[in-house]
Amino acid sequence: MQMTATARGILALTLGIAIFSVQDVILKQLSGDYPLHQAMVLRSLTALPFHLAIVWWFDGRLSTITTPGWWKMFARGLLNFVAYTAYYLGLAYVPMADAVALFFTSPLFITLAAVLFMSERVSLKTTMALAAGFAGVLLIVKPGADGFDLAAFLPIIGALGYAISMVVARPMGRTESAAAMAFWGNVCFLLCALAMSAVYGTGAYAGASHPSLAFLTRGWVTPDLADLSLMAGCGVIAAIGLTLLTYAYRIAPASTVAPFEYSFMFWGVMWGWVFWGDFPDGLGWIGIAVIIAAGLLVIRAPQKEKAAP
């Protein structure tokens, strides 16, 4: 029996999400011994030829990366760099399941940004979903509780940066290809990571005791072969995962496949439990459930509103 395009898209997206989750495991595992900028440099260098291959595969030519709008794609890469740097610095301290859940507030921020900056209108149901989603954030972060740490807000900052980059991508997508945007995003990651390495790579600012700060300010460390392979492997993982996600959104309706991105939560909980023994508490589970439910409502709402007339 032949699989439909929608089914292939869902399969590609869920597989891509599963592969991407391994990158989070690797970076969290390395965060105690290596700096984030070192891992980013090696990851981006490894991913560079894969991104060129992706551009050739999807666009049929490499000239799409040299269009007049290349600088806009690079600027969008800066937003993504800030977003993922904040997320991974938070991941060094926050349990993996919580970090993933907080980062998946990005659909809420995307909708909020569209309302504030693009004058889009949303229904009362969507407004209530936004409020509920941000209430779920409070259940996970628990501000004011014993053991609260400001690092818990880093994945949220990552989600906000990612949301802005997605809103910016909407008009950009009319003239630029997704593969070209991903290529310039990777180039931006490489250059920014090299700049961070120039500041922190010598270890002049090392010595921070907080896991997130240490992951940022630690100097470069000569890795053994296993750790070097893991850092380089992140580039392969990112390229393969991105290819699968791009393929999924090319062959299937976005409103159908997008909710399956929340399968990341399964991997976040499982990997956190398997590798670090982390498991969300009662309030954490409620917060995760509320964020997922709110995110799904926000993702599906525009499609329903278009179909209503």
**pLDDT of 125 above 80:** yes
At a CB cut-off of 8 Å and minimum separation 6, what does 164 contact?
A: 79, 109, 113
- 20-51 pLDDT, tens digit per residue, is 999 999 999 999 999 999 999 999 999 999 99
Residue 93's SS3 state is coil
**pLDDT of 302 above 60:** no
- In this prediction, residue 18 has a pLDDT band, given cuts at 50, 70 and 90, of very high
- Mean of the per-residue pLDDT values of the chain: 88
Counting other chains too, the contacts that 146-153 makes at CB distance below 8 Å and 24 or more residues apart are: 149/93, 151/89, 151/90, 151/92, 151/93, 151/94, 151/210, 151/211, 151/212, 152/90, 152/93, 152/94, 152/98, 152/102, 153/90
Question: Which pLDDT does position 303 carry in this prediction?
Answer: 53
Is the full-model pTM beyond 0.75? Answer: yes
- Of 5-14, 187-196, 206-215, 292-301, give the lowest mean pLDDT range: 292-301
- Of 32-41, 286-295, 300-309, give the lowest mean pLDDT range: 300-309
Give per-residue burial for 143-169: e unless 16+ CB within 10 Å, then b: eeeeeeeebbbbbbbbbbbbbbbbbbb
Alpha-carbon distance 126 to 120, whole Å? 12
Residue 32 DSSP label: T
Greater confidence (254 vs 161) lies with: 161
Alpha-carbon distance 52 to 201, whole Å? 28
**pLDDT of 308 above 80:** no
Alpha-carbon distance 155 to 86, whole Å? 6
- Find the domain containing 23 and state its range: 5-307
- 79-93 pLDDT, tens digit per residue, is 999 999 999 999 999
User: Domain tally for the chain?
Assistant: 1
- 263-284 pLDDT, tens digit per residue, is 999 999 999 999 999 988 888 9
